[in-house]
Amino acid sequence: MSVLTTPRSTPSRGSDRKPSARENFSAWANRHRKWLFAAPAMIFVGVLIVFPLAWTLYLSLTDSQGSVRAASEFVGLQNYVTVLSDGERFWPAVARTLSFTGVALTCEVILGMCIALLLWRPFRGERWVRVAILLPLVATPVAVGMMWRLIFDPNIGFVNQVLGLVGIPPQPWLSGQDTALGTTIFMDVWQWTPMVVLILLAGLTSLSEEPDEAARMDGANAVQRFFFVTLPLMMPTVIVAILLRGIDALKTFDILYATKGKGGGSFHEVETLNVYAYGLSFDYNQYGLSSAVLILFFMIIIGTMWLLTMRKKAASK
Amino acid sequence: MKRRSIVKYAAFAAALSLGLTGCGGGSGSSDSKAAGTVRVTLANHVWTEGIKAAIPEFEKSTGLKVELTQLGEDQLSDQYNVKLNAGTDEIDVMMYRPLQEGKAFAKNGYLADLTSKVSQDAGWDWKDYQDGPVKASTVDGKVVGVPIITEREVLYYRKDLLKSAGLAVPKTMDELQAAAKTIAAASPDTAGFVARTGKSAAVTQFSSFLYSFGGDFVDASGKSAVGSDAAKKAYAFYGGLIKSYGPKNVSTDMSWPEAMAIFTQGKAAFYTEADSLYKNATDPAKSKVADNVGFAALPSGPAGSKPYNIPSWGLAVNKASNNQDNAWKFIQWATSKERTLAAQKAGVPGPRASVWADPAGTSTYPKDLAEAISVSAKNGVGHDRPEVVTVGKAREIVGTPIVSTITGADASTAADKASGEFQKFLDSEKK
């Protein structure tokens, strides 16, 4: 502790005494304290983010398969060529990842905004409604997936039985090739809209009342006030919500895996990039190819984040 | 003075932690804890439940301590992929699937060679093991595992439905199809036939149909055989049965839990599945039709009744473990004749011939199931999926025509396409 209590200590005037090792260390520590304080965080980032990323990048340039410890050869960009020219699994997975994220995000933001507006003004039983809305958020995605899988089962599922009561024929939901992706999007919306509501509600409550009142005095109706006053003021918050939720939605794995299993179903109907890379690693043990997919995926995420951050800056100006 | 001692302790702690990390990561060193502890990783299975209850016995007689990790099938695979890839010595005994992972694990050097160990103890008796399971646990002439659970495909059926329709238990595939058709037509809420439909999950159960129609995944010269006439007929039959007489709106992702649920909910008349899962159908707590479930050997196809007869799980020793002798002690105990008999009585068909020969070994089984098993054990084929290194990928390829046929595609076209892909896959594995 004495290191910090004697900052910038210098050897006493006129003394020829050599500084002790401890004093030397103390002086060195003081000179580099910004690095010393940041070191734990830097080590953390290095070990848990930079190293795995660099290792993945290295693996993506080799033909590693079977076991990562087995001998592998450097193959340059071969894996990237293979992946990028794969029209059967890779490109459909990219399309599914983007459409899953796009549709889920749009629904979540629109629905989230509507709910946030409803919750904005105080009302009776508000607390209970808020708790109810937040419930899906605290459930584990895998459990959510399993639950919906049972509910949507084509033969013994709850949904088809209820539909049967009102005379609607049973639908394939998760088991249909065309309906599976839509159904998983519905699950994602069910689980994550509350998070968007939370963010938007925080934004709404921090808005000042004056612009809205001024618009009301000028005779603007509720719809006009929302589109021309509230929404523009909310834009930075909306983009934060899109940014946070968007990155998460791009990476969705658990709901898809829990409902459709390896390969995203028998026809790969919900196979996104994440599910595809997982299958390449854990089912096929093709670590080189899988790493190439993950690096490309990483670039897609970074690209999307960059685009959204630019939008946020533009909106904040 | 005080500060100095703190520094001293800190330095000591740091050195100790570095040392321990070194031990944990290395493969040649050993730590004191490992010597008296056997670390065992098992799958969630009826066999595991039985062995778990008996572990105190083992601990008492050997003085060793067992540290048990129990995981679901998929999680188990993923754990092995991660941990064995990293060269962990934290697993001593591992429960694994000889036909799914055996070749890949042996090739990667994850499994210890048990050849000399299995032949040492005449009382434990390696010769007592059935040929199929032994073959599946041997890679390149080396024994790498000890089988613990065997499986054969049998026909589960509903006695009450057959009786009310005035039908006999089908003996041939044609009779099965006709009976499924009759029952499906008689009651619209009940499917005539149900079985696994998931691309990868269905492969193992489809395999018995493939063999019974005279086909196999690979021919005698090692080439893809999923495009053969026999295979095409088998695909068309299995897929067609589910498409025409299966549950309405059938999902193409069903593995055994989903298919079994349909059968045990009373929504299907016939179901082909592994015999080792029979308790799910006969246990009143799990099955609405427990009293009415009958069992029969797999109906004969053009090539006879040829179900698979395989070891679905085995125990192996992690090659990187520093505790291999104790690991072997555990395996020896867990697979002894007494333990195998106890497991078999609890509903887990075992791999030991002597236990099957002992009337006590089948005393708890429904009579018709025991008969079906004894028939299947004679005609059985020793594999239920392609015998390759990357089984996961191979299953997806050869399973595609199954789902295609279920959804109404032409079996022949789908089989030809799959055969081309499978040949490419086989070529790539040979490299």
Q: In sequence order, what DSSP letters do the residues of B7-31 get, joined into one string?
A: HHHHHHHHHHHHHHHHHHH-SS---
CB contact (8 A) between residue B253 and residue A267: no
Q: Is the pLDDT of residue B298 over 60?
A: yes
DSSP-derived secondary structure letter, B273: E
Secondary structure, 3-state, B363-430: CCCCHHHHHHHHHHHHHCECCCCCCCCCHHHHHHHHHHHHHHHHCCCCHHHHHHHHHHHHHHHHHHHH
B360 in helix, strand or coil? helix
| Average pLDDT of span B172-200 | 95
Q: How far apart are CA B49 and CA A29, in angstroms?
A: 58
**B199 and chain A in contact, CB less than 8 A:** yes
Amino acid found at B129: Y
Tell me if A267 and B403 make a contact (CB, 8 A cut-off).
yes
Q: Name the residue among A265, A281, A284 with its Cβ closest to that of B393.
A: A284
Say which range, A91-100, A138-147, B222-231, has the weakest mean pLDDT.
Answer: A138-147
Instruction: Identify whether the C-beta of residue A266 lies closer than 8 Å to the C-beta of residue B198.
Output: yes
Give the residue, B235 or B257, on which the prediction is more confident: B235
Q: Which of B143, B191, B197, B181 is nearest to B317 (CA)?
A: B143
In the structure encoding, which two tokens stand for residue A304, read together? 């999307």
Q: Residue A268's closest chain B neighbor by CA?
A: B199
What are B155's strand-pairing partners?
B272, B296
ipTM exceeding 0.95? no
pLDDT at A2 over 70: no
A299: which residues sit within 8 A by CB, 6+ positions away? Answer: none
- The mean pLDDT value of chain A amounts to 89
Does any CB of chain B come closer than 8 Å to the CB of residue A285? yes
- How far is B389 from B314, CA to CA, in rounded Å? 17
Q: Looking at beta carbons, which residues of chain B come within 8 Å of A265?
A: 252-253
Q: Quickly state the pLDDT bin for A317 (edges 50, 70, 90).
A: low
Q: Is the pLDDT of residue B6 over 80?
A: no
Higher pLDDT, B246 or A157: B246
A153 contacts in B (CB within 8 Å)? 251, 258
Q: What pLDDT sits at residue B19?
A: 36
Helix, strand or coil, per DSSP, at residue B315: strand
Which of B100, B144, B14 is CA-nearest to residue B312? Answer: B100
Amino acid at B179: A
CA closest to A68 among chain B residues: B85
Burial string for B267-284 (b: 16+ CB within 10 Å, else e) reads bbbbbbbbbbbbbbbbee
The CA distance from B244 to A208, in Å, is 65
Q: CA B63: distance to chain centroid?
A: 32
Please check whether residue B250 is in contact with residue B195, taking contact to mean a CB–CB distance below 8 angstroms: no
Q: By the 8 A CB rule, do B395 and B203 touch?
A: yes
What is the SS3 assignment for B66? strand
What's A284's DSSP letter?
S
Give Rg (Cα) of chain B: 24
- Among the partner-chain residues A66, A155, A263, the one whose CB lies closest to the CB of B104 is A66
Percent over 90 (pLDDT), chain B: 81
DSSP structural state of residue B118: H
DSSP characters over B136-202? HTEETTEE--EEEEEEEEEEEEEHHHHHHHT-PPP-BHHHHHHHHHHHHHH-TTSEEEE---STTHH
Q: DSSP string of A257-269?
A: HHHHTGGGSTT-T
- Whether residue B407 and residue A67 make contact (CB cut-off 8 A), yes or no, is no
* CA closest to B246 among chain A residues: A155
Q: Please determine, for residue A6, whether its predicted confidence score (pLDDT) is greater than 60.
A: no
B126 vs B115: CA distance, rounded Å: 10
Q: Judging by DSSP bridges, how do beta strands B191-194 and B293-297 pair with one another?
A: unpaired
Residue A67 forms contact with B (CB below 8 Å): yes
A180-206 pLDDT, tens digit per residue, is 999 999 999 999 999 999 999 999 999
| Average pLDDT of span B231-260 | 93
Residue B25, pLDDT > 80, answer no
- Which of A153, A266, A282 has the CB atom closest to B199's CB atom? A266
Contact A175 B252 (CB under 8 A): yes
* Interchain contact B110–A (C-beta under 8 A): yes
Q: Taking CB atoms and an 8 Å limit, are B249 and A175 in contact across chains?
A: yes
Choose among A281, A275, A268, A252: nearest CA to A79: A281
Q: Per-residue confidence at B35, pLDDT binned at 50, 70, 90? A: low
> What are A77's two structure tokens?
């960009």
Cβ–Cβ pairs < 8 A, chains A and B: 84
* Helical residues (DSSP H) of B26-102, grouped into ranges: 32-35, 46-62, 73-85
With contact defined as beta carbons under 8 Å apart, do B76 and B93 qualify? no
Residue in A70, A266, A281 closest to B108 by CB: A70
- Of A68, A156, A172, which is closest to B85 when you measure between CB atoms? A68
CB-based contact (8 Å) between A272 and chain B? no
pLDDT at B229 over 60: yes
Q: With cut-offs at 50, 70 and 90, classify the pLDDT of residue B18.
A: very low
- The confidence score (pLDDT) of residue B341 equals 96
Q: Is any Cβ of chain B less than 8 angstroms from the Cβ of A158?
A: no
Facing residue for A266 by CB, picked from B77, B78, B403: B403
pLDDT at A120 over 90: no
Is 80 exceeded by the pLDDT of residue B31? no
Residue B332, pLDDT score: 96
Compute the distance between CA of residue A104 and CA of residue A251 in angstroms, rounded to an integer.
12
Q: Using pLDDT thresholds of 50, 70 and 90, give the confidence band for residue B26.
A: very low
Instruction: Point out the residue among A69, A170, A262 whose CB comes nearest to the CB of B249.
Output: A170
Residues B337/B128, Cβ–Cβ less than 8 Å? yes
Our CA-based measurement puts residue B110 at a distance from the nearest CA of chain A, in whole angstroms, of: 9
Q: Is the pLDDT of residue B15 over 70?
A: no
Q: How confident is the model at residue B1, as a pLDDT?
A: 41
A189 to chain B, minimum CA–CA distance in Å? 23
Is the pLDDT assigned to residue B13 strictly greater than 90? Answer: no
Task: Kindly state whether B84 is in contact with chain A, defined as any CB-CB distance less than 8 angstroms.
Answer: yes
Closest listed residue to residue B179, CA positions, set B190, B165, B197: B165
User: From residue A23, how far is each of A11, A17, A257, B155, B224 by CA, in Å?
Assistant: 9, 12, 58, 83, 76
Please report residues of B whose CB lies closer than 8 A to that of A155: 247-251, 262, 267
Q: Which of B36, B87, B29 is nearest to B63 (CA)?
A: B36
Q: Tell me whether B410 touches chain A (CB under 8 Å).
A: no
Residue B170: burial class (beta carbons within 10 Å; 0-12, 13-18, 19+): buried
Instruction: Say yes or no to pLDDT of B267 above 90.
Output: yes
Residues of B in contact with A282 (CB under 8 A): 77-78, 81
Cβ(A136)–Cβ(A144) below 8 Å: yes
CB-CB under 8 Å, B248 with A153:
no
- Report the DSSP pairing between strands B268-274 and B191-194: parallel
Nearest CB to B200; choose among A177, A262, A282: A262
How sure is the predictor about A114, in pLDDT bands with cuts at 50, 70 and 90? very high
B261 touches chain A (CB under 8 A): yes
Q: Does A221 touch chain B (CB under 8 A)?
A: no
List of chain B residues whose C-beta atoms are within 8 Å of the C-beta of residue A267? 199, 252, 403
Provide, rounded to the nearest whole percent, the portion of chain A with pLDDT above 90.
61
Nearest CB partner across the interface for A154, out of B251, B390, B393: B251
Residue B340: closest CA among B299, B62, B348, A306: B348
A153 and chain B: CB distance < 8 Å anywhere?
yes
Q: Are B348 and B46 in contact (CB under 8 A)?
A: yes
Q: Region A274-295: what's the mean pLDDT? A: 94
